[in-house]
A and B are shown apart, each in its own frame.
Chain A
Amino acid sequence: MNKNHRVQSSRSLSAVEVKSKFGAEFRRFSLDRSKPGRFDEFYGLLQHVHRIPNVELLVGYADVHGDLLPINNDDNYHKAISTASPLLRLFLQRKEEADYTAFGTDSLTRKKNTVLSAVLLRPDANRKKPPVIISLPRDFRPVSSIIDVDILPETHRRVRLYKHGQEKPLGFYIRDGSSVRVTAQGLEKLPGIFISRMVPGGLAESTGLLAVNDEVLEVNGIEVAGKSLDQVTDMMIANSHNLIITVKPANQRNNVVRSGGGGGGGGGGAASGSSGRSSDSGASYYGYSSQAAAASMPMHIIQNFPVDELESEDEDLVIEADGEAEPIRRAPSNYSMPSLPRYEPHLNLRAATTSVSSSALSINANGTLPASGSSGSLSNTNATSTTSSPDRATERRSLEEDGTVITL
Chain B
Amino acid sequence: MKRFRRHGQESQRDRLKQELFQFNKTVEHGFPHQPSALGYSPSLQLLAIGTRSGAIKLYGAPGVEFMGLHDENAAVTQVHFMPHQVELVTLLDDNSLHMWTLRGHKGLSELLEIGRFTLTGPPGAPPSVTRVTAVLAHASGELLLLGTEGGHVFIVEVPGFRELEERNISLDQVAASVPDDYIGRRNLEHVEALQENPINPNQVVIGYGRGLMVIWDLEKQCAIQHIPATQQLESVWWTEDGSYILSSHSDGSYCRWMVGGEDVNEEEEKSDIPYGHFPCKAISKIIQLPTEEGPPFLLFSGGMPRASYGDRHCITVIHSKTHVALDFTSRIIDFFVIRDGLQHTGDPSALVVLVEEELVVIDLQTDCWPVIQTPYLVPLHSSAITCSHHVSAIPLKLWERVITAGELQHTHYSKKPWPITGGQNLAPDPPQRDLLLTGHEDGTVHFWDASGVCLYPLYKLSTAGVFHTDTDPNDNMNQGAEGEWPPFRKVGCFDPYSDDPRLGIQKIHLCKYSGYLTVAGTAGQILVLELNDEAAEQTVEAKVVDLLQGQEGFRWKGHTRLDVREEPVLFPPGFQPFALVQCQPPAVVTALTLHSEWKLVAFGTSHGFGLYDYQQKNNVLIKCTLNPSDQLAMEGPLSRVKSIKKSLRQSFRRIRRSRVSLRKHHVNNTAKLQEANARLEAELAEMELAPVQRKIEARSSDDSFTGLVRTLYFADTFLSDSSHNAPSLWAGTNGGCVFAYMLRLPPVEHRADEPVTAQPAKEIQLMHRAPVVGIVVLDGHGAPLPEPLEVAHDLSRSPDMQGSHQLLVISEEQFKVFTLPKVSAKMKLKLTAVDGSRVRRVGVAWFCSSRTEDYGESGLTVLTNQGDVHVVSLPHVKMQVQYPCIRREDVSGIASCVFTKHGQGFYLISPSEFERFSLSTCHLVEPRCLVEAPLHSGSSNQHRSQPDGASSAHRTRQESEDAGKKSVRGFKESQ
- A interface residues (Cβ-Cβ under 8 A, vs B): 163, 169-176, 196-197, 199, 204, 220, 222, 227-241, 243, 313-321, 328-331, 333-334, 388, 398, 402, 404-406, 408
Are A316 and B837 in contact (CB-based, < 8 A)?
no
Given A173-B693, A321-B761, A408-B760: A328 touches B698 (CB 8 Å cut-off): no
CB under 8 Å from chain A, chain B span 816-836: 816, 818-819, 822-828, 830, 832-836
State the CA gap A50–B813 with chains docked (Å).
Answer: 46
Instruction: Check if B651 is an interface residue, CB within 8 A of chain A.
Output: no
Q: Considering only CB atoms and an 8 Å cut-off, how many residues of chain B contact the other chain?
A: 45
Are A237 and B697 in contact (CB-based, < 8 A)?
yes
Chain B residues within 8 Å of A174, by CB = 693-694, 696
- The 14 sampled A-B contact pairs (Cβ below 8 Å) are A163-B698, A172-B695, A172-B696, A175-B694, A233-B695, A234-B865, A235-B832, A238-B832, A240-B696, A240-B698, A240-B699, A316-B816, A319-B765, A405-B701
- B interface residues (Cβ-Cβ under 8 A, vs A): 691-699, 701, 720, 742, 759-768, 770, 813, 816, 818-819, 822-828, 830, 832-838, 865-866, 888
Given A227-B836, A317-B767, A405-B765: A197 touches B693 (CB 8 Å cut-off): yes
Given A328-B825, A334-B825: A173 touches B767 (CB 8 Å cut-off): no
Q: Which of A234, A236, A243, A402 contacts B765 (CB 8 A)?
A: A402
Are B696 and A237 in contact (CB-based, < 8 A)?
yes
What are the 10 A-B residue pairs with the smallest beta carbon separation, nearest first? A231-B836, A240-B698, A238-B832, A233-B694, A235-B836, A319-B763, A238-B833, A317-B765, A173-B693, A329-B824
Are B770 and A238 in contact (CB-based, < 8 A)?
yes
Given A163-B698, A329-B824, A330-B825: A231 touches B767 (CB 8 Å cut-off): no
Given A316-B764, A321-B759, A408-B760: A231 touches B693 (CB 8 Å cut-off): no
Chain B residues within 8 Å of A404, by CB = 701
> Measured between C-beta atoms, what is the minimum distance from B751 to chain A in Å?
25
Chain B residues within 8 Å of A163, by CB = 698
Q: What is the predominant secondary structure among interface residues of chain A facing chain B?
A: mixed
Given A196-B691, A238-B830: A316 touches B766 (CB 8 Å cut-off): yes
Are B764 and A229 in contact (CB-based, < 8 A)?
no
Chain B residues within 8 Å of A222, by CB = 834-835
State the CA gap A243–B832 with chains docked (Å).
Answer: 13
> Measured between C-beta atoms, what is the minimum distance from A101 to chain B in Å?
30
Chain A residues within 8 Å of B818, by CB = 328
Seed contacts A196-B693, A232-B694; 15 additional CB < 8 Å A-B pairs: A170-B696, A175-B693, A204-B696, A220-B833, A229-B694, A232-B836, A235-B832, A238-B770, A240-B698, A240-B699, A334-B825, A398-B767, A404-B701, A406-B763, A408-B760
State the CA gap A319–B763 with chains docked (Å).
Answer: 5
State the CA gap A232–B742 with chains docked (Å).
Answer: 40
> Which residue in chain A gives the minimum CB-CB distance to B866?
A231
Are B866 and A173 in contact (CB-based, < 8 A)?
no
State the CA gap A314–B7 with chains docked (Å).
Answer: 31
Are B819 and A331 in contact (CB-based, < 8 A)?
yes
Chain A residues within 8 Å of B696, by CB = 170-174, 204, 233, 236-237, 240, 243
State the CA gap A254–B782 with chains docked (Å).
Answer: 55
State the CA gap A174–B694 with chains docked (Å).
Answer: 5
State the CA gap A318–B837 with chains docked (Å).
Answer: 27
Are A234 and B836 in contact (CB-based, < 8 A)?
yes
Chain B residues within 8 Å of A197, by CB = 693
Chain B residues within 8 Å of A241, by CB = 698, 767-768
Given A175-B691, A240-B697, A329-B825: A231 touches B764 (CB 8 Å cut-off): no
Are A319 and B762 in contact (CB-based, < 8 A)?
yes
> Measured between C-beta atoms, what is the minimum distance from A298 to chain B in Å?
13
Are B823 and A318 in contact (CB-based, < 8 A)?
yes
> Which residue in chain B gives the minimum CB-CB distance to A195?
B696
State the CA gap A64–B285 with chains docked (Å).
Answer: 104
State the CA gap A408–B299 with chains docked (Å).
Answer: 72
State the CA gap A172–B694 with chains docked (Å).
Answer: 8
Chain A residues within 8 Å of B832, by CB = 234-235, 237-238
Chain B residues within 8 Å of A196, by CB = 691, 693
Q: Which of B695, B826, B827, B888 contacts A173 (CB 8 A)?
A: B695
> Which residue in chain B gives the minimum CB-CB distance to A239?
B833
Chain A residues within 8 Å of B888, by CB = 228
State the CA gap A406–B625 with chains docked (Å).
Answer: 9
State the CA gap A163–B696 with chains docked (Å).
Answer: 12
Are A234 and B838 in contact (CB-based, < 8 A)?
yes
> Measured between C-beta atoms, what is the minimum distance from A174 to chain B in Å?
5
Chain B residues within 8 Å of A406, by CB = 763
> Measured between C-beta atoms, what is the minimum distance from B87 to chain A in Å?
43
Chain A residues within 8 Å of B765, by CB = 316-319, 402, 405
> Which residue in chain A gives the minimum CB-CB distance to B814?
A238
Are B768 and A331 in contact (CB-based, < 8 A)?
no
> Which residue in chain B gives the minimum CB-CB distance to A405?
B765
> Measured between C-beta atoms, what is the minimum distance from B584 to chain A in Å?
21
State the CA gap A236–B759 with chains docked (Å).
Answer: 38
> Which residue in chain B gives the minimum CB-CB distance to A320?
B762
> Measured between C-beta atoms, what is the minimum distance from A231 to chain B in Å?
3
Chain A residues within 8 Å of B761, by CB = 320-321
Of the listed residues A163, A174, A231, A408, the one surrounded by the most CB atoms of chain B closer than 10 A to its CB is A231
State the CA gap A220–B768 with chains docked (Å).
Answer: 15
Of the listed residues A197, A199, A233, A234, the one surrounded by the most CB atoms of chain B closer than 10 A to its CB is A234
> Measured between C-beta atoms, what is the minimum distance from A154 to chain B in Å?
25
Are A170 and B698 in contact (CB-based, < 8 A)?
yes
> Measured between C-beta atoms, what is the minimum distance from B739 to chain A in Å?
9
State the CA gap A314–B826 with chains docked (Å).
Answer: 13
Of the listed residues B818, B825, B828, B834, the one surrounded by the most CB atoms of chain A closer than 10 A to its CB is B825
Chain A residues within 8 Å of B865, by CB = 230, 234
State the CA gap A169–B697 with chains docked (Å).
Answer: 6
Are A169 and B825 in contact (CB-based, < 8 A)?
no
Are A231 and B835 in contact (CB-based, < 8 A)?
yes
> Which residue in chain B gives the minimum CB-CB distance to A408?
B760
Chain A residues within 8 Å of B694, by CB = 173-175, 229-230, 232-233
Q: Which of B692, B697, B764, B823 contacts A170 (CB 8 A)?
A: B697
Are B836 and A314 in contact (CB-based, < 8 A)?
no
Chain A residues within 8 Å of B698, by CB = 163, 169-170, 237, 240-241
> Measured between C-beta atoms, what is the minimum distance from B495 to chain A in Å?
36
Are A328 and B824 in contact (CB-based, < 8 A)?
yes
> Measured between C-beta atoms, what is the minimum distance from A233 to chain B in Å?
4
Chain B residues within 8 Å of A331, by CB = 819, 824-827
State the CA gap A234–B834 with chains docked (Å).
Answer: 10
Q: Which of B699, B764, B827 contacts A317 (CB 8 A)?
A: B764
Given A240-B696, A241-B767, A318-B764: A235 touches B825 (CB 8 Å cut-off): no
Q: Which of A228, A232, A240, A318 contacts B763 (CB 8 A)?
A: A318
Are A314 and B767 in contact (CB-based, < 8 A)?
yes
Chain B residues within 8 Å of A321, by CB = 720, 742, 759-762
State the CA gap A91–B825 with chains docked (Å).
Answer: 34
Chain A residues within 8 Å of B866, by CB = 231
> Which residue in chain A gives the minimum CB-CB distance to B707?
A406
Are B692 and A175 in contact (CB-based, < 8 A)?
yes
> Which residue in chain B gives the minimum CB-CB distance to A273?
B679
> Which residue in chain B gives the minimum CB-CB distance to A327?
B767
State the CA gap A299–B440 with chains docked (Å).
Answer: 52
Given A232-B836, A237-B698: A405 touches B763 (CB 8 Å cut-off): yes
> Measured between C-beta atoms, what is the minimum distance from A235 to chain B in Å?
4
Chain B residues within 8 Å of A240, by CB = 696-699
Chain A residues within 8 Å of B720, by CB = 321
Chain A residues within 8 Å of B697, by CB = 169-171, 237, 240
> Measured between C-beta atoms, what is the minimum distance from A241 to chain B in Å?
7
> Measured between C-beta atoms, what is the minimum distance from B886 to chain A in Å?
15
> Measured between C-beta atoms, what is the minimum distance from B276 to chain A in Å?
59
Chain A residues within 8 Å of B701, by CB = 404-405
Chain B residues within 8 Å of A232, by CB = 694, 836
Chain B residues within 8 Å of A173, by CB = 693-696
Chain A residues within 8 Å of B826, by CB = 331, 333
State the CA gap A172–B762 with chains docked (Å).
Answer: 36
